[in-house]
C-alpha cells in the first residue's frame, strides 16, 4: 500500500528533489575556518567523523556553510523525525514561543505538557493508564526510569546488556556497555548493575531463536545462580533494537522471553526507545513489532523533531512517587512540548507509514548491494532504522572496522551523510520524510563508495 505524504511533508523546495550537489572541496573554506575555531574552544570529547558544518536543512537535505548540499541519512543521530525544519513544527515553535518560553512544569502547570502526556498515553506501547515524566534528553529519560524502578520495587540492582547505549549521566552510563572509551576514567560506576549478552542473530553461531534463549539463560542460570538474587533486581533495561551497538535486531522471542522472566521475578521492564521510537521502525515504537508491553518506555531524540526533550512514560501504578522525588527545571519545556505535539500528529498522519514503506524499499536496495559487494556481511533493520555490517570475509565475519570508517568518509565525499554504529556497521537513520527517490540516491552513492573501497 502506498502512503500519501502531505505536500508540506514532502516538498522538493530550494534544495531540489534530493540529489547531493557539491560545489567546493570538502571541507570548504568557510567550514574549515569554523572547525579551526571549534578546535580551540569546544570540548574535544565530541566525535566528529567528518567535517560537516551545517548552515541550514530542509526535509532530508542539508546545506553546509559553503553551499554544498548533502542527502542526510543521519537526521542528526536519528532526531529530525519530521525532516529538517518541518514548516508545521517551526510554526508550532513560533506560536508557543510568542506565548511563553518557560515556566518550569516542575513547579507550575501549563496545558501543552498535559496535552503531550495525554498524546503519549494514546500512543504508548502498553495498556494504560499512564503517567509521563519529562526531562531534556535520552539519558535523563533513562535516569528517571532507573530511579523510578528502584523507588517502586525498593530493590537496588539493575540488568542491562552488552553493547547497550543508554546515555552518559552516571546512572545511564552504568547501564551503558557500548564502547570502553565512554566509561574509561569515570569509575566507579553505579553499583549493582549487571550486563548480559544481547542476542545478535548475525554473529550467533546457532539459529536466531537459540541466541535469544542463550541470553535469557545467561540471566537465569549465571546471574541469578551465582551473583544476583532476582528479588534484588529493580529493573531490566533494554533497547528493542540496539542502536549505537550496531543496529542489531534481536529475534522477537528475546523481548517476549525477557517480558516473561521479568514478570516471574517482579522486575520492572524498561524499554529504551530513545533511538528506535517515534515512528522510525514503521511503528510508533519498535517494541510493538514483538507484541511485548513494557512497564516503562523511555523516549527522546525523534520526539520533538530536534528540540531537546526526553520522556519516561510508565504505567500509572508504577509512576507513583511523591512530590519532590524527581524533577528537572527545563524538563518538558513548553516549546519542546509544542514541537512534540506537532511531531506526533505528523507521525500518525503519514510519516510512520512512510518509514515502513520507504524503509522496506531502502532495505531491499541494500540487500541487492550485498550481492554485489562482498564487504557487506549483513543488512538488517526495521523501517528507516537500517544497519549494514561490514566484514573482511563472509565466512569468518572478521570485522571490517577501517573499511567501515572509510565508507563513511567516501559517502561524505559524495554528498551522503551516514554514521557508523558498533565496531563495523554503518547506520542509516534518515528523517522519516525520506522519499523513494532519495532512498535510491542513497543506494547509488553507497554502491559507488563501496566500489571505491573495494578498488
Ligand X SMILES: Cc1ncc(COP(=O)(O)O)c(C=O)c1O
Binding site for ligand X (CB under 6 A): 77, 137-139, 142, 165-167, 239, 243-244, 272, 274-275, 300
Smallest gap from residue 11 Cβ to ligand X (A): 29
CA angle in degrees (0–180, nearest 5) for 58-74-291:
110
Smallest gap from residue 176 Cβ to ligand X (A): 8
**Residue 82 or 142: which CB sits closer to ligand X?**
142
E-state strands within 280-398: 296-299, 310-315, 376-382, 385-390
Smallest gap from residue 248 Cβ to ligand X (A): 12
Smallest gap from residue 243 Cβ to ligand X (A): 4
**Residue 66 or 272: which CB sits closer to ligand X?**
272
3-state SS assignment for residue 412: helix
Smallest gap from residue 141 Cβ to ligand X (A): 7
Instruction: Report residue 73 CA to chain centroid gap.
Output: 13
**Residue 243 or 359: which CB sits closer to ligand X?**
243
CA distances from 60 to 87, 182, 329, 438 (A): 13, 30, 33, 8
CA distances from 46 to 39, 49, 182, 246, 269 (A): 11, 10, 11, 19, 31
**Residue 76 or 251: which CB sits closer to ligand X?**
76
Smallest gap from residue 137 Cβ to ligand X (A): 4
**Residue 138 or 387: which CB sits closer to ligand X?**
138
| Non-local CB neighbours of 23 within 8 Å, separated by 6+ positions | 66, 67, 68
Q: Cell numbers 519498535 correspond to what residue?
A: 286
**Residue 238 or 267: which CB sits closer to ligand X?**
238
Smallest gap from residue 30 Cβ to ligand X (A): 28
| Non-local CB neighbours of 428 within 8 Å, separated by 6+ positions | 73, 362, 366, 381, 384, 385, 386, 387, 388, 418, 442
E-state strands within 200-322: 233-238, 268-272, 296-299, 310-315
268-272 vs 233-238, strand pairing mode: parallel
CB-based contact 173:250 (threshold 8 Å): no
For CA atoms 78, 189, 152, 295, give the dihedral sign.
positive
Q: CA-CA distance, 101 to 55, in Å (whole number)? A: 25
**Residue 66 or 140: which CB sits closer to ligand X?**
140
Cβ-closest position to ligand X: 138
**Residue 20 or 277: which CB sits closer to ligand X?**
277
**Residue 57 or 243: which CB sits closer to ligand X?**
243
Cell matching residue 429: 537513520
Smallest gap from residue 134 Cβ to ligand X (A): 13
Beta bridge partners of 57: 62
Q: CA-CA distance, 248 to 226, in Å (whole number)? A: 28
Smallest gap from residue 216 Cβ to ligand X (A): 21
**Residue 167 or 331: which CB sits closer to ligand X?**
167
Smallest gap from residue 5 Cβ to ligand X (A): 26
**Residue 419 or 449: which CB sits closer to ligand X?**
419
Smallest gap from residue 47 Cβ to ligand X (A): 12
Q: In what order do the strands lie in the sheet with 419-421?
A: 376-382, 385-390, 425-428, 419-421
Amino acid at each position: 500500500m502506498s502512503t500519501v505524504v502531505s505536500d508540506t511533508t514532502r516538498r522538493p523546495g530550494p534544495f531540489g528533489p534530493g540529489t547531493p550537489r557539491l560545489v567546493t572541496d570538502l571541507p570548504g573554506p568557510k567550514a574549515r575556518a569554523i572547525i579551526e575555531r571549534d578546535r580551540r574552544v569546544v570540548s574535544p570529547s565530541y566525535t566528529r567523523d567528518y567535517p560537516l558544518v551545517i548552515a541550514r536543512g530542509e526535509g532530508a537535505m542539508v546545506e553546509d556553510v559553503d553551499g554544498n548540499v548533502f542527502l542526510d541519512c543521519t537526521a542528526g543521530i536519528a532526531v529530525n523525525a519530521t525532516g529538517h525544519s518541518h514548516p508545521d513544527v517551526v510554526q508550532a515553535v513560533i506560536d508557543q514561543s510568542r506565548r511563553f518560553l518557560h515556566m518550569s512544569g516542575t513547579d507550575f502547570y501549563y496545558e501543552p505538557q498535559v496535552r503531550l502526556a495525554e498524546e503519549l498515553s494514546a500512543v504508548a506501547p502498553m495498556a494504560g493508564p499512564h503517567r509521563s515524566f519529562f526531562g531534556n534528553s535520552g539519558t535523563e529519560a533513562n535516569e528517571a526510569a532507573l530511579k523510578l524502578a528502584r523507588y517502586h520495587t525498593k530493590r537496588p540492582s539493575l540488568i542491562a546488556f552488552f553493547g547497550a547505549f543508554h546515555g552518559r549521566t552516571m546512572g545511564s552510563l552504568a547501564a551503558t556497555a557500548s564502547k570502553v572509551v565512554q566509561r574509561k576514567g569515570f569509575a566507579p560506576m553505579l553499583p549493582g548493575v549487571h550486563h548480559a549478552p544481547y542476542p545478535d542473530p548475525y554473529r550467533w553461531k546457532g539459529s536466531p531463536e537459540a541466541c535469544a534463549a542463550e541470553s535469557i539463560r545467561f540471566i537465569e542460570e549465571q546471574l541469578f545462580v551465582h551473583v544476583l538474587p532476582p528479588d534484588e533486581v529493580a529493573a531490566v533495561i533494554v533497547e528493542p533494537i540496539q542502536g549505537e551497538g550496531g543496529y542489531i535486531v534481536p529475534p522477537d522471542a528475546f523481548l517476549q522471553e525477557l517480558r516473561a522472566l521479568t514478570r516471574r521475578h517482579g522486575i520492572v521492564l524498561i524499554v529504551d526507545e530513545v533511538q528506535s521510537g517515534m515512528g522510525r521502525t514503521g511503528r510508533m515504537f519498535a517494541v510493538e513489532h514483538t507484541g511485548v508491553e513494557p512497564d516503562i518506555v523511555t523516549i527522546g531524540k525523534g520526539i520533538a523533531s530536534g528540540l531537546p526533550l526526553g520522556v519516561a512514560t510508565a504505567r500509572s501504578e508504577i509512576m507513583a512517587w511523591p512530590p519532590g522525588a524527581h524533577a528537572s527545571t527545563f524538563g518538558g519545556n513548553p516549546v519542546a512540548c509544542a514541537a512534540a505535539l506537532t511531531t506526533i500528529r505528523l507521525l500518525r498522519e503519514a510519516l510512520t507509514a512512510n518509514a515502513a514503506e520507504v524503509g522496506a524499499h531502502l532495505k531491499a536496495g541494500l540487500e541487492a548491494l550485498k550481492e554485489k559487494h562482498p564487504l557487506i556481511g549483513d543488512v538488517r533493520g526495521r523501517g528507516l532504522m537500517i544497519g549494514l555490517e561490514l566484514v573482511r570475509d563472509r565466512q569468518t565475519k572478521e570485522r571490517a572496522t577501517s573499511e567501515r570508517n572509510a565508507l563513511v568518509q567516501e559517502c561524505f565525499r559524495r554528498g551522503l551523510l551516514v554514521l557508523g554504529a558498533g565496531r563495523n556497521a554503518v547506520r542509516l537513520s534518515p528523517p522519516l520524510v525520506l522519499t523513494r527517490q532519495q532512498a535510491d540516491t542513497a543506494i547509488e552513492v553507497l554502491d559507488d563508495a563501496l566500489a571505491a573501497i573495494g578498488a
